[in-house]
Structure 1
Amino acid sequence: MTCLADNMAYFQEKLNIQKSFDIICRMTMVADHKACFYFIDGFVKDELMEKLIEFFYSITPEDLPEDSAGLSRDAMPYVEVELLDGREEIEANILSGVLCLFIDGYDKCFAIDCRTYPMRSVAEPEKDKVLRGSKDGFVETVVFNTALIRRRIRDPHLVMEMQQAGSCSKTDIVLCYMEDRVDRAFLEEIRNRIQNLQVEALTMNQESLVECLYRRKWFNPFPKVKYTERPDATAASVLEGKIAILVDNSPAAIILPVSIFDIVEEADDFYFPPITGTYLRLNRLFIAILTLLLTPGWILLMQNPEWIPPAFDFIKVEGDIHIPLLFQLLILELGIDGLKLAAINTPNMLTTPLSVIAAIVMGEFAVKSGWFNSETMLYMAFVAVANYTQASYELGYALKFMRIILLVLTAAFNLYGFAAGILLTLLAISCNRTISGKSYLYPLIPFNGKQLARRIFRKRIKSGE
């Protein structure tokens, strides 16, 4: 490592510098020693490079320490400096954007971490909005995300542990936890799983990581982890003893282990007084149950009109039914998802006019043409809007899949199918397990009355808690 020419020959070939325009090798002088910088163009600011080069040109041979440790300690004009001696480690640092300095005659490489990443503003997440509370959110740069959590938890027990995964991508992964509150056995298990990952790259960031961490089968649609883009929600979960996993290039934190009661919680529950927070929580739970049972229950009543009380005769279909109600509802289930995909890919300037056209075509004209009855349009419109009461996309789609199964069973087997669909949904929830292997319904199963009351009712925060 002491010969600059040997180091340059190795890294010139290893990093394909002749072919890659953005990997820069910059020669300079440090006192009377030849030196060179390796860095990625775009990760290091020009002003900083100019100041570093100016500083090293100004050093005299008398001021230059003879050993690498002394030079790093006494003559490096930057805060984050690390000494490296393994070529593979140096290569990984260069490709990660770290500025690496080689000086002829010194046995170690000086890794100067002065990276700056292109990033968007720390704005409130589009999906995790709140009526009251902080308006900041995670971004794609993991260092900024850890800073947002540190800002909220000023405790020495808060640990930000760095890991890497992916033989090609070498993706940075941060385990965030409270050292005095975390389940140490589960933490060690997660750490070992990350370290033993045999993948080339985490192409889908946090989703790829979760699928690697959860080794059981994925037939159950109910979510195994909670995703959040809110630093305040992440900090609150960490203080409860949970682990937050931050993945570089992803604006969402992974919270685990979580039960279904953790997943349905939202920040707004805690930004309002206890009575309001309790109302919001119970309302969200009621609407979730209603979105699951509304259309299957209506199908059941349409198949058994004698069960409808006289006061509710208005729910019956008045017009002619050209297409069976089951197929109308299934077509609308698929059509609503198609409209969601179209809205995501629609340019902003066309969103309003196309939305108006879609509303007219899917509404009035669809009913007049005989494809759909107005009642099916009404109930599916409610279900489509009500799905957004859940902050978790995964939970919303799990309820959707269960609702479709419930619809088909009810149409095929009447009351027995309806009962079987509800039982299947309850089994899917109760048989689901968290990543730690514990009950998905805790504190309901196993039963803990005090904790269950805290999950359902928003309690007032008392001094000392």
Structure 2
Amino acid sequence: MGEKLSLRLKENTEILDEILQTDKNFDIIRKGIVTGGRDACIYFVDGFLEESIMEKLLEFFYKLKPEEVPLSASQMAEQVIPYVEVSVMPEREELLKNLLSGVTCLLIDGYDACIGLDCRSYPMRSVDEPSKDKALRGSKDGFVETLVFNTALIRRRIRSSKLSMEMLTAGKISRTDIVLCYMDDRVDRRLLRELQGRIHAISVDSLTMNQESLAECIYEQKWYNPFPKFKFTERPDTASAAILEGNIVILVDNSPQAMIVPTSIFDIVEEADDYYFPPVTGSYLRLSRFLIAIITLLLTPTFLLLYQNPEWIPRWLEFIVIKDTVHVPVVWQFLMLELAIDGLRLAAINTPSMLSTPLSVVAGIVLGQFTVDSGWFNAEIMMYMAFVAIANYTQSSYELGYALKFMRLILLVLTAAFDLWGFLAGIALTLYAIAGNKTVAGKSYIYPLFPLNLQQLKKRFLRLRLKEETEQNQK
């Protein structure tokens, strides 16, 4: 239990002024008022206050008569104050936490509790469609950095009393708000209790990087396995669909992304467009994405293997043989281009928007024609790496794209060093990294392939009609 507030207003304000350092912090404001013949004081953080609402509340407090003031803070909050979001905080620690979160705190002489008025308004951007998580059809809204708006976007789509939004906090100093969203009648109770326990057990000062910090705290095993353990989305419709399937969606304040658990490799490959198109088109898009992911992993290592063993190339594929002189070993060309592509990607992120187009054109020309003419790279190598670089963007998950990239690099090195046996070892290592991975719930990362569930496996590869999917989910 925290320290209780005093009945004397002066004693409370002296302690709070010292803790909050109101003489130094210009944005923490204390305003003294008189209501119902009693001295009172309001604390708030400048920038979080909805001024129009506060003006009306102040007008009410100034007009309050002494006989209208009840004996306790709880009666004042429940029976007198004409506002919806009102709470009573008897402890100083609770007061400080809510105040620094943006809640306006009212202290009245003779009350041993603080009255919280939640009339905050956070600075926020509009709920536009996320630039990365786009869909050709469907809704064009997206999550923002304000938690309450994100929960509202989900509530708007799931109008059920079974939808639960459970608030937790983590970080000794930051006290970051975390919301677990789930359907009360569909969620895995064991996983829910485990997540609650892990979040309560977090002992860090702050979740500095929001969801990534939270992910590292609640899943600490096998950091060296690059395949993602969580699915991230900025789309409220994707998050809502995951909740209806029995998953848990984790929202973190100050983050515009939702974290979906548990997540398998098949969940990560899925996208919203799979469901916004008819079943035939949706199935084609999903299967294309699977196929392109496999090609991006195997294309350059396979070409390297055939280059090292030209006698294996069938007559109808002889056109893939490099005809020009190879000045730099092929494996080093692939490795340098892998690094160069990441360098261009990082440069594009940090380039001002007005310069990004001309600089991209210059980079394309230099890395294209000039590097081939100079002898550093061969045209065939440039073509295959260009395909791989573009095909990586068929995956909405950055984490999965980089996981495939890391495994491709390992495949290239092993193939160059040990030829066919290295190629086979690299594929075996990739399969082990995928199959040996575990979800947050500790279950198979490749379910429903293992353990085998044919009905669910069919659903993962083919986009079924809504009625069929609903029936399978109910089973």
TM-score of the pair, normalised by structure 1: 0.99
Local SS of the residue matching 2:105: strand
Greater CA deviation, 235-244 or 301-310? 301-310
Q: Deviations over 1:263-291 (max 9, x none)?
A: 11101000011110100000000000000
Q: 1:349 is matched with which residue?
A: 354
User: How many Å separate the matches in 2 of 1:143 and 1:118?
Assistant: 12
- 1:123-158 alpha-carbon deviations (Å, 9 max, x no partner): 111111001100000000010000000000001010
Residues 1:223 and 2:228 are matched in the alignment: yes
Q: 2:273 aligns to what?
A: 268
Report SS of the residue matched to 2:425: helix
1:79 aligns with 2:84: yes
1:336 to 338, 341, 354: 341
Alignment of 1:326 onto 2:331 = yes
1:212 to 217, 242, 245: 217
Moved >3 Å (runs of 4+): none
Post-superposition offset of 1:206? 0.2
Alpha-carbon deviation of 1:388? 0.4
Distance in 2 between residues matched to 1:346 and 1:417, nearest whole Å:
39
Q: Which moved more, 1:58-67 or 1:243-252?
A: 58-67
Task: Output the CA distance in 2 between the equivalents of 1:334 and 1:68.
Answer: 64
Letter aligned with residue 47 of structure 1: S
1:184-195 residue pairs with structure 2 within 5 A? 184-195=189-200
Q: Which residue pairs with 1:141 in the alignment?
A: 146
Match of 1:295 in 2: 300
Where does residue 426 of structure 1 map in the other structure? 431
User: How big is the shift at 1:306?
Assistant: 1.1
**Matched residues in 1 for 2:467 and 2:100: separation?**
50
Query: Which letter maps to 1:64?
Result: V
Partner of 1:174: 179
Matched with 1:104 is 109
CA distance in 2, matches of 1:395, 1:301: 27
Q: Deviations over 1:150-172 (max 9, x none)?
A: 00000101000000000100000
Write the distance in 1 (CA, Å) between the matches of 2:258 and 2:50: 29
1:6 aligns with 2:11: yes
* Mapping 1:371-386, distance limit 5 Å: 371-386=376-391
Query: Which residue of 447, 453, 459 corresponds with 1:442?
Result: 447
Give the Å deviation of 1:213: 0.2
Aligned-pair distance for 1:47? 2.3
- Read off the aligned partner of 1:178 and give its amino acid letter: M
In structure 2, runs of 5+ residues without a counterpart are 1-5
User: Could you report, residue by residue, the CA deviation over 1:392-439 in whole angstroms, capped at 9, with x for unpaired residues?
Assistant: 100000000000000011111111111110000000000000011000
Of 457, 461, 464, the match for 2:466: 461
Work out the CA distance in 1 between the residues paired with 2:358 and 2:263: 41
Within-5 A mapping of 1:28-177: 28-177=33-182
Quick one: distance in 2 between partners of 1:126 and 1:56?
46
Shift of 1:77: 2.2
Residue 272 of structure 1 aligns with an amino acid whose one-letter code is: F
Distance 2:263 2:299 in 1: 28
Deviation, structure 1 residue 215: 2.4
Deviation, 1:74, is 1.9
Q: Residue 317 of structure 2 corresponds to which residue in structure 1?
A: 312
1:177 match: secondary structure: strand
What are the equivalent positions in structure 2 for 1:361-376 lying under 5 Å apart? Answer: 361-376=366-381
Structure-1 separation of matches of 2:115 and 2:262: 39
Distance 2:453 2:172 in 1: 44
What secondary structure does 2:467 align onto? coil
* Equivalent residue pairs, number: 465
8 Å contact kept, 2:30–2:42: yes
Q: Which runs of 5+ in 1 are unaligned?
A: none
C-alpha deviation, 1:313, in angstroms:
1.4
1:74-119, Cα deviation, whole Å (9 max, x unpaired): 2212110000011011111111111000000112100111110100
Q: Which amino acid aligns with 2:291?
A: F
Structure 1 residue 196, shift from structure 2 partner: 1.1
Identity %: 62
The alpha carbon displacement at 1:443 in A equals 0.3
AA aligned opposite 1:421: G
Q: Distance in 2 between matches of 1:326 and 1:187?
A: 47
The aligned counterpart of 1:247 is 252
**1:462 is paired with a residue of what secondary structure?**
helix
The offset of 1:48, in angstroms, is: 2.3
Query: CA deviation digits over 1:363-401, x for unaligned, max 9?
Result: 111111111111111000000000000011000000000
Secondary structure in structure 1 of the residue aligned to 2:466: coil
**What whole-Å deviation, never above 9, does each CA across 1:278-332 have from its counterpart, x for those lacking one?**
0000000000000000000000111111111122111111111110000000000
Corresponding letter in the other structure for 2:142: G
Q: 2:238 aligned with 1:233, yes or no?
A: yes
Report the alpha carbon displacement of residue 66 of structure 1 after superposing the two structures with TM: 2.1
Amino acid at match of 1:152: R
Indicate if the aligned counterparts of 2:86 and 2:115 stay in contact, CA closer than 8 A. Answer: yes
* Residues 54 and 119, structure 2, Cα contact 8 Å, conserved in 1: no
Partner of 2:396: 391
Q: CA RMSD in A?
A: 0.9
Looking at structure 1, the residues matched to 53 and 455 of structure 2 have their Cα atoms a distance apart, in angstroms, of 56
